[in-house]
Structure 1
């Protein structure tokens, strides 16, 4: 059956215990792609349907979205029938499907950038859907037709199926996912990814094809509470419609699964409830808990335990949502599991409270309430370790220009207010979970869903918005550096090193924005960056006359020269201006030259700045200490000016 532009349903629409299998065939010129060919039980009819459409030797690929027998067990039979195709799947699925006796070559997603380019240039993109319901599960997106072959996602139980989703399909789909999917925390991020993709049609391996109102189905799964250990949002039973609401919801769900007539026949046989001509339960007689038990007992008596087992997750969700007693008919089915889960939940709740309290202290900034740099780095490491690491986001560093002057003018209290106001602006623009308080710069932003150009434009808008904001006592500007996921280097030995290098790239771009004059967005690579960097030198000396004389000669080299009279001021100026070179006396007030170097080295923004010691103090102990700190150029006053200028010239030349 033709679905859309040479994409065909090649299975049998008959169901087996309410779970039908839908193999699909995509024909592109002389190439065919077979998606999840099905079980051994369906093999003959699927093969017959395929032969009506294409010669089997033109099937070049068989896509296996996961390893279950209803998807894969017929593959050896297709091989015996003469199909010579590559098996397109994840390495986790490959590990298991080999035990069906599959002999064909494998096309592993991880080795091909999660894409398959066909002979015509048509691209199939493979979207990881880990643990939905298998660790190596994925879906396939046809970029030509914008059709999603969704595997188990959007599938359904149904004993009264239709080829295309009807008005009852939502309940069928939710029933399937409540039972098969592990948790909302796994389901939600995949739905977030799908919501950003243009999808014209969803072809699930079970259930019906969804060809309209696709965002509605994505939203329904995004918010679905599912899994054995679900913790749904509590609702007031009376305010929601009382037990009548529960009885009608249960009847509606059963109709979706087993057909209207069968379900109505059972419910009409129950004396304790009244059903209107509109097929709604309008009244019940007696204690509602007893009536609930009566309804379930009658369902068991007339339809058997299969019906009871299929609605158990849904009833469990209802009882948890409205905090009512689970009907007794489920006791034999879930008593042991319930006891274990109750104990597990108690332990988990206690553990979660402890973890939450510790995380709040360790991972949140006390001033802004934002998660900190350590948390962001852990998040990046986690994402890099995931199967869908290619969906990693862009990273932007945002630093308030000349913030040290603002703090000196208005004091600590206003500094905290300014940071909170800045956090407020960024959260408004990017969302709470995207903004972080950093140690090595003021703020970090981690974003998904932006392409390069859109993100640069957005950051420019934010930069201008902040410069015009009236939330601060004086005008504030920011410098911004952006790193993009396609710049990540994956050849490092650990995800920690990769995350560190990725963040460092953002910091480097930020330094570029500052050296180029501040109040800028820098998003260019190293070679382009070098062409826009300003050359600057910081002189640290309490003798202003000596500093001014040296400044005159260095400026002739074409560099901007800054002067600080004590070590503390020097550190703040270095952090704000990121000079190429710091020339410092050893004996400076507040922080001496050694402590200044230690402080510079402990800061991600300033650790790579070249430091030259220029001092009256130079002996074996001080030279050894300088070497330990990584300072290799130590000149004693009086010094040879040409030698010093040569060192400065060499360091500022590196940014030309």
Structure 2
């Protein structure tokens, strides 16, 4: 039983407490804080390796795993006594700071960023982006509302993604000014500039960031410098067509599960069979309907956020 419980609560790659444990721990901590009307603030530091996907593509999955293990070790060496390291689903961590002020959370985040950037423990130099969220940045009504644990968690996720998108090795917190907070980053791969513009604008109006690529090589390169959450790809793109791009993404665990929508003017049985073999999530027939595409993105990313 102890062995089964240990497996349930720990990440198999790093040995850190996993996201399942984190979400339960967070919910309990919030409930206790609300019940006791505690005046003690707490913070969550969301930490992502900026170039983890590049490492996986250039070296191997095991190199990526070793990088995660080394970062976990470094975080444990850097954390204070009242802080706990958790591994999120995907290539990221959370440092749960049970006590301390906003300024102390920022100080710890910068300490971590500098320690990682200066470390020689990795196969090549890496950096991390950090997003901070804390209990008392929300109103009393928000803190006591049902589902608040998901709200504070999602805000941290959004901030660390925004930090990465703004140049990497960055810190985003509640005091960061003039930053557009996106709820996801969408890659559109299509040679048609009209399609690019129409769907870019529609997605941006729904608070998504958009990256555009005109061919498969550009699309693959986009994964080295962006945390892509969703791919919309025309089948017949040059240099590396939609199927070959998906096959390439399937080679690494961080990219193989990213939702992938294939678009085509000519949907037939052969295309469907190949798409099934490659685990393409959806095939949409052109001309595309804006509301259908945006709705699909919203539904899929919303479900993934609650896995």
- Using the size of structure 2 for normalisation, the TM-score is 0.66
Over residues 231-261 of structure 1, what are the superposed CA-to-partner deviations in whole Å (9 max), with x where a residue is unaligned? xxxxxxxxxxxxxxxxxxxxxxxxxxxxxxx
Over residues 445-483 of structure 1, what are the superposed CA-to-partner deviations in whole Å (9 max), with x where a residue is unaligned? 100232112211321222122112111121101111111
Aligned equivalents of 1:439 and 1:589: distance in 2? 26
Structure 2: tracts of 5 or more residues without a match:
202-208, 237-241, 273-279, 298-307
* Residue in 2 that maps onto 1:472: 122
- The Cα of 1:515 is off from its aligned counterpart by 1.8
Over residues 150-200 of structure 1, what are the superposed CA-to-partner deviations in whole Å (9 max), with x where a residue is unaligned? xxxxxxxxxxxxxxxxxxxxxxxxxxxxxxxxxxxxxxxxxxxxxxxxxxx
- The Cα of 1:551 is off from its aligned counterpart by 10
* Residue in 2 that maps onto 1:617: 266
Aligned equivalents of 2:215 and 2:164: distance in 1? 18
Aligned equivalents of 2:233 and 2:6: distance in 1? 41
Give the one of 417, 434, 452 matched to 2:102.
Answer: 452
- The Cα of 1:591 is off from its aligned counterpart by 7.8
Aligned equivalents of 1:437 and 1:507: distance in 2? 13
Give the one of 361, 366, 371 matched to 2:17.
Answer: 371
Contact 1:536 1:562 survives alignment (8 Å): no
* Residue in 1 that maps onto 2:73: 424
Give the one of 413, 419, 435 matched to 2:62.
Answer: 413
Aligned equivalents of 1:365 and 1:460: distance in 2? 25
Aligned equivalents of 1:468 and 1:614: distance in 2? 44
* Residue in 2 that maps onto 1:439: 89
Aligned equivalents of 1:371 and 1:527: distance in 2? 33
Contact 1:539 1:564 survives alignment (8 Å): no
- For 2:168, what is the secondary structure of its paired residue? coil
Aligned equivalents of 1:460 and 1:413: distance in 2? 28
Matched, 1:561 2:207: no
- The Cα of 1:635 is off from its aligned counterpart by 5.9
* Residue in 1 that maps onto 2:112: 462
- For 1:490, what is the secondary structure of its paired residue? helix
Contact 1:482 1:523 survives alignment (8 Å): yes
Which structure would you say has the larger RCO, counting Cα contacts within 8 Å and 6 or more residues apart?
2
- The Cα of 1:512 is off from its aligned counterpart by 1.1
Matched, 1:388 2:32: no
* Residue in 2 that maps onto 1:403: 52
Aligned equivalents of 1:421 and 1:536: distance in 2? 27
- The Cα of 1:614 is off from its aligned counterpart by 3.7
- For 1:368, what is the secondary structure of its paired residue? coil
Aligned equivalents of 1:551 and 1:415: distance in 2? 38
Aligned equivalents of 2:179 and 2:87: distance in 1? 25
Number of residue pairs aligned between Structure 1 and Structure 2: 256
Contact 1:398 1:441 survives alignment (8 Å): no
Over residues 102-128 of structure 1, what are the superposed CA-to-partner deviations in whole Å (9 max), with x where a residue is unaligned? xxxxxxxxxxxxxxxxxxxxxxxxxxx
Contact 1:384 1:392 survives alignment (8 Å): no
Give the one of 143, 152, 155 matched to 1:490.
Answer: 143
- The Cα of 1:492 is off from its aligned counterpart by 3.0
Matched, 1:508 2:158: yes
Structure 1: tracts of 5 or more residues without a match:
1-353, 541-545, 623-628, 652-656
Aligned equivalents of 1:363 and 1:553: distance in 2? 43
- For 2:54, what is the secondary structure of its paired residue? helix
Over residues 493-536 of structure 1, what are the superposed CA-to-partner deviations in whole Å (9 max), with x where a residue is unaligned? 3xxx2212211110011111022122101113798431x77x97
- For 2:159, what is the secondary structure of its paired residue? helix
Alignment of 1:220-231 (within 5 A): none
Aligned equivalents of 1:551 and 1:462: distance in 2? 43
Aligned equivalents of 1:446 and 1:466: distance in 2? 18
**Cα gap change, 1:384/1:536 in structure 2, threshold over 3 Å: closer, same or farther?**
closer
- Using the size of structure 1 for normalisation, the TM-score is 0.33
Contact 1:383 1:389 survives alignment (8 Å): no
